């Protein structure tokens, strides 16, 4: 194999990791140095859009990947899909917890409280609890195939509830939220039309999705390695009298 | 009268030296705008460190995968 073909295969396998790193670097640099609209209450914290809101967008995407893996498991009964669903859920929970903590710090300095009884905040907390329950449900079952099937079915319910609590509930007519961008769309509104911010926000979302997928990829490969190792140990034990 | 002229001279001298001190070019880029560039640099370093750790993990796992597939063939 020539050197150039090694390089092209390296790029074709890893382009999304490189793109993710590049986009997040771009969002870190432009997120601080770019122009933002001057709004009361928010002030410079409007820049949290690039770092806090991206966590939630990436979380929804990664948990969507977990849902897809669960559906694939139910149709094919491939253990790898079960491992994927579990590890994507872990990374999604990580991103969601980062979103909750960063939002809480922001609330402390903007609203004067670490937590307020706001539909958007409570919706986010409930959807995280639903995914904690997914992990607990998994770990409560010993039998491998049963665990995988029950967890996959629960995961479908969990994703629907996530969309209900994170997307539908804050947008309902009679629900009013303190959160920026309230009154309809939970993430944007007053700064929705700002072109400068969009030019940083969308690349940041794509970048964090790719970084999340990369972390999940490493976790999935580790779990598959461990699974194969345990299986080969088990079969070699069986062969011995 | 003489006192006033002297005071004026001193004032002019002081103000010109002060003004001159402000116009001398220094490596101010990293200190301007409330030192925000320093924060950007530090965040970039933190993120670069995490990325390097991810790359190391990725390579380590690739090596383990190769070892495992080789031992399964054997």
For B67, the closest chain A residue by CA position comes to: A225
For B65, the closest chain A residue by CA position comes to: A225
Over range A124-143, report the average pLDDT: 95
Given an 8 Å threshold on Cβ–Cβ distance, is A232 in contact with B72? yes
pLDDT surpasses 90 at B71: no
| Tens digits of residue pLDDT in A8-28 | 788 888 999 999 999 999 999
Return the minimum-mean-pLDDT range out of A35-44, A74-83, A139-148, B8-17. Answer: B8-17
For every residue of chain A, which 3-state class applies, written as one string? Answer: CCHHHHHHHHHHHHHHHHHHHHHHHHHHHHHHHCCCCCCCCCHHHHHHHHCCHHHHHHHHHHHHHHHHHHHHHHHHCCHHHHHHHHHHHHHHHHHHHHHHHHHHHHHHHHCCCCCCCCHHHHHHHHHHHHHHHHHHHHHCCCCHHHHHHHHHHHHHHHHHHHHHHHHHHHHCCCCCCCCCCCCCCCCCCCCCCCHHHHHHHHHHHHHHHHHHHHHHHHHHHHHHHHHHHHHHHHHHHHHCC
ipTM over 0.85: no
Q: How confident is the model at residue A172 (pLDDT cuts 50, 70, 90)?
A: confident
* Structural domain for B43, as ranges: 25-74
For residue B61, is it within any domain? yes
Question: Which chain B residues contact residue A228 at CB under 8 A?
Answer: 68, 72
Given an 8 Å threshold on Cβ–Cβ distance, is A28 in contact with B61? no
| Mean pLDDT comparison of A123-127, A166-170, A236-240, highest-scoring range | A123-127
Do A172 and A123 contact (CB within 8 A), yes or no? no
For residue B72, is it within any domain? yes
For residue B1, is it within any domain? no
| Model pTM score | 0.82
* Confidence at residue A1, expressed as pLDDT on a 0 to 100 scale: 47
Q: Does A32 touch chain B (CB under 8 A)?
A: yes
User: From CA A3, how far away is CA B41, in angstroms rounded?
Assistant: 35
* Confidence at residue B18, expressed as pLDDT on a 0 to 100 scale: 55
| Tens digits of residue pLDDT in B2-45 | 677 667 666 665 665 555 555 666 666 655 667 888 888 899 99
* Confidence at residue A241, expressed as pLDDT on a 0 to 100 scale: 57
For residue B73, is it within any domain? yes
Given an 8 Å threshold on Cβ–Cβ distance, is B44 in contact with A24? no
Q: How confident is the model at residue A86 (pLDDT cuts 50, 70, 90)?
A: very high
pLDDT surpasses 50 at A184: no
For residue B33, is it within any domain? yes
Chain centre to alpha carbon of residue A31: 20
- What b/e sequence results for A124-140 when a residue is b if at least 16 CB atoms lie within 10 Å of its CB, and e otherwise? beebbebbeebeeebee
Return the minimum-mean-pLDDT range out of A37-46, A102-111, A141-150, B58-67. Answer: A37-46
For residue B55, is it within any domain? yes
Question: Which chain A residues contact residue B65 at CB under 8 A?
Answer: 221, 225
Q: Does A214 touch chain B (CB under 8 A)?
A: yes
Tokens at A15, concatenated: 């382009």
User: From CA A107, how far away is CA A101, in angstroms rounded?
Assistant: 10
Given an 8 Å threshold on Cβ–Cβ distance, is A225 in contact with B57? no
Given an 8 Å threshold on Cβ–Cβ distance, is A218 in contact with B58? yes
User: From CA A19, how far away is CA A2, in angstroms rounded?
Assistant: 25
Over range B52-62, report the average pLDDT: 95
For residue B3, is it within any domain? no
pLDDT surpasses 50 at A223: yes
pLDDT surpasses 90 at A38: no
Question: Which chain A residues contact residue B64 at CB under 8 A?
Answer: 225
Do A164 and A125 contact (CB within 8 A), yes or no? no
Q: Does A24 touch chain B (CB under 8 A)?
A: yes
pLDDT surpasses 60 at A57: yes
Q: How many domains does chain B contain in total? A: 1
Contacts of A227 (CB under 8 A, 6+ apart): A79, A83
For residue B42, is it within any domain? yes
For B58, the closest chain A residue by CA position comes to: A218
């Amino acid at each position: 194999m020539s050197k150039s073909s090694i390089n092209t295969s390296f790029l074709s396998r890893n382009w999304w990791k490189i793109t993710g790193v590049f986009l997040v670097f771009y969002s870190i640099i432009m997120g601080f140095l770019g122009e933002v609209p001057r709004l009361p209450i928010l002030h410079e914290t409007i820049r949290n859009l690039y770092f806090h809101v991206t966590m939630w967008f990436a979380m929804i995407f990664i948990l969507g990947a977990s849902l897809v893996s669960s559906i694939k498991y139910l149709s094919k009964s491939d253990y790898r899909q079960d491992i994927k669903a579990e590890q994507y859920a872990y990374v999604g929970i990580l991103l969601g917890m980062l979103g909750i903590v960063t939002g809480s710090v922001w609330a402390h300095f903007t609203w004067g409280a670490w937590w307020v009884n706001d539909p958007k905040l409570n919706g986010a907390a409930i959807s995280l609890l639903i995914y904690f329950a997914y992990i607990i449900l998994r770990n409560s079952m010993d039998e491998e195939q049963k665990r995988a099937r029950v967890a996959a079915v629960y995961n479908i319910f969990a994703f629907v509830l996530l969309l209900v609590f994170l997307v539908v509930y804050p947008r309902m007519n009679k629900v009013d939220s303190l959160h920026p961008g309230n009154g309809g769309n939970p993430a944007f509104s007053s700064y929705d039309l700002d072109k400068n911010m969009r030019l940083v926000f969308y690349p940041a979302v794509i970048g964090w999705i790719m970084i999340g997928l990369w972390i999940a990829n490493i976790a999935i490969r580790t779990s598959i390695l461990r699974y194969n190792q345990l299986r080969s140990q088990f079969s070699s034990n069986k062969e011995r009298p | 009268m003489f006192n006033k002229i002297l005071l004026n001279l001193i004032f002019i001298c002081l103000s010109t030296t002060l003004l001159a001190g402000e116009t001398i070019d220094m490596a101010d880029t990293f200190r301007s705008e409330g030192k925000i560039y320093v924060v950007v640099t530090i965040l970039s370093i933190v993120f670069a460190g995490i990325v390097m750790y991810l790359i190391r993990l990725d390579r380590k796992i690739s090596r383990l995968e190769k070892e495992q597939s080789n031992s399964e063939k054997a």
